[in-house]
Amino acid sequence: MRSHEEGRISSNWVISVLVFLGACLCCRSQLTPNFYSRSCPNVLGVVRREVFKALKNEMRMGGSLLRLHFHDCFVNGCDASVMLDGSDGEKFALPNLNSARGFEVVDAIKAALENECNGTVSCADILAIAARDSVLLSGGPTWPVLLGRRDGLVSNQSGANSGLPSPFDSVDQIIAKFNAVGLNTTDVVSLSGGHTIGRARCATFSNRLFNFSGTGADDPTLDQSLAAQLRQVCPASGGDGNATTALDPNSTDVFDNHYFVNLKRNRGVLSSDQALYSSDAGQAETKALVESFAASGPLFKIAFVNSMIRMGNIVPLTGSAGEIRTNCRTINSS
Ligand code: HEM
Ligand SMILES: *[C@@H]1O[C@H](CO)[C@@H](O)[C@H](O)[C@H]1NC(C)=O
Ligand SMILES: *[C@@H]1O[C@H](CO)[C@@H](O)[C@H](O)[C@H]1NC(C)=O
Ligand SMILES: *[C@@H]1O[C@H](CO)[C@@H](O)[C@H](O)[C@H]1NC(C)=O
Ligand SMILES: *[C@@H]1O[C@H](CO)[C@@H](O)[C@H](O)[C@H]1NC(C)=O
Ligand SMILES: *[C@@H]1O[C@H](CO)[C@@H](O)[C@H](O)[C@H]1NC(C)=O
Ligand SMILES: *[C@@H]1O[C@H](CO)[C@@H](O)[C@H](O)[C@H]1NC(C)=O
């Protein structure tokens, strides 16, 4: 009797523990749009105001802030690791050096939020909200941003070098890098549509000009009139690898589906962009997705939103993991 009772109690206890653990596991990985509704009710208004100010000053900043969230999430998850200063950090990794920008805008948002509700909103969440607002204020779609991420304690330079896609990667390599963070081929193509805004430096595409792969000519998958324009920006000799051109030459600062229309006309700027449509490496799947997003702006925007939410969910720190940084550039204990 007694042992039966003990058995019942202990199995109830086991079930309770399992339910409790399950709830913890669930809610630890669970971000929610209302995370700050009590602790910082004005968070969305404050971020929107600061992003608006930044874009009013320079429309390109919308692209820069969108890319910052992407470069954050692909390395150790969306934990603001990209924001940490230090020459051994992600800012000095190849994909970010002389390239990632918008850090001062994030600082300004953080300062405004420390005034509003100090010690409450993570830098990782600021990046996610700023990316959403940048897309919206550039004429793109909006969505409820999931919140509750906490800030990481390390910046992972080698992780950034190996995990972030390169414009010189093949489509297969890019798909593999997305798969490594739980994203699929649909996400590769829809999120590449982020290149409907922002700019790229000559260093990232000038290999397609003048003497592509030693052929003595431009990349054959590059439209000749666009090539001529790009040669003006990046002359063969005496050129500046830091000079930039619009990733979507047709509607530079507008978040639309022209990026995909451009690819169908050989007018993708980066080799990795054009390869989604033109690669002869058997990428029928990416080509079909480009076709469908080129054919329908609304379809692209729905796919983009779904993929942004999936990207924003890459292994976030939640609960008591990590910390809420006071200054996005340093961990609190330093
Ligand atoms: C699919 C693989 C991708 C590759 C190979 C890639 C590569 C690049 C490169 C080389 C640049 C120019 C950087 C420079 O000139 O220094 C760039 C810019 C940009 N990328 Fe990507 N990217 C990829 C995916 C994404 C994703 C997923 C997003 C966001 C959803 C994104 C958003 C942007 C934006 C907005 C810019 C312009 C930034 C600015 O003007 O400051 N990219 N990308
Ligand atoms: C918020 O600011 C108050 C007043 O300056 C300070 O006493 C408090 O420690 C701060 N809290 C956090 C979490 O930074
Ligand atoms: C850095 O990223 C790599 C690749 O994802 C990972 O294997 C490694 O554990 C990370 N290092 C730290 C310190 O987070
Ligand atoms: C990628 O994942 C999304 C969401 O689960 C799904 O709707 C889509 O069909 C997937 N795409 C591919 C190519 O598997
Ligand atoms: C193009 O590159 C190839 C291989 O690197 C080289 O042999 C050739 O001289 C280059 N042609 C020009 C016009 O620079
Ligand atoms: C680009 O700018 C950076 C920072 O100002 C500089 O260190 C680098 O040498 C420049 N690169 C080229 C190719 O001009
Ligand atoms: C983009 O510009 C090119 C060259 O001016 C033009 O041929 C093309 O129709 C434009 N595409 C869109 C989507 O407006």
Instruction: For ligand 4, say whether the CB of 186 is within 6 Å of any of its atoms.
Output: yes
Q: What are the DSSP calls for 150-168, one per residue?
A: BB-S---HHHHHHHS--TT
Ligand closest in space to the Cα of 186: 4
Q: pLDDT grade, residue 301 (50/70/90)?
A: very high
What integer pLDDT is reported at residue 10 of this predicted model? Answer: 45
Is 134:62 a contact under the CB 8 Å cutoff? yes
Per-residue DSSP letter, 32: B
CA of 248 to the centre of ligand 7 (A): 10
Architecture of domain 185-305: Orthogonal Bundle (1.10)
Tell me what the pLDDT averaged over the chain comes to.
92
The sign of the torsion formed by the CA atoms of 327, 308, 286, 293 equals negative
* pLDDT tens digit sequence for 264-275: 999 999 999 999
pTM of the predicted model, to two decimals? 0.92
Instruction: For ligand 4, say whether the CB of 185 is within 6 Å of any of its atoms.
Output: yes
Say whether pLDDT at 276 is over 70: yes
* pLDDT tens digit sequence for 67-113: 999 999 999 999 999 999 999 999 999 999 999 999 999 999 999 99
Token couple for 4: 């039966």
Say whether pLDDT at 192 is over 90: yes
185 Cα nearest atom in ligand 4: 13
Residues 168, 190: Cα–Cα separation, whole Å:
19
* Start-end of CATH 1.10.420.10 domains in the chain: 185-305
Residues 125, 90: Cα–Cα separation, whole Å:
18
Share of the chain above pLDDT 90, in %: 87
CA of 63 to the centre of ligand 1 (A): 8
The third-level CATH classification (topology) of the domain covering 2-164 is Peroxidase; domain 1 (1.10.520)
Residues 102, 96: Cα–Cα separation, whole Å:
12
Ligand closest in space to the Cα of 259: 7
* Start-end of CATH 1.10.520.10 domains in the chain: 2-164
Instruction: For ligand 6, say whether the CB of 242 is within 6 Å of any of its atoms.
Output: yes
240 Cα nearest atom in ligand 6: 14
The more confident residue out of 21 and 305 is 305
> Whose Cα sits closest to atom 11 in ligand 3?
156
Instruction: For ligand 6, say whether the CB of 241 is within 6 Å of any of its atoms.
Output: yes
What integer pLDDT is reported at residue 334 of this predicted model? Answer: 59
Say whether pLDDT at 141 is over 50: yes
Long-range contacts at 178-184 (CB < 8 A, ≥ 24 apart): 181/73, 181/74, 181/311, 181/314, 181/315, 182/310, 182/314, 183/307, 183/310, 183/311, 183/314
* pLDDT tens digit sequence for 227-264: 999 999 998 876 788 999 999 998 999 999 999 999 99
Q: pLDDT grade, residue 3 (50/70/90)?
A: very low
What integer pLDDT is reported at residue 241 of this predicted model? Answer: 87
Per-residue DSSP letter, 281: T
Let me know if 59 is exposed, middle or buried by CB neighbors in 10 A (0-12, 13-18, 19+).
Answer: middle
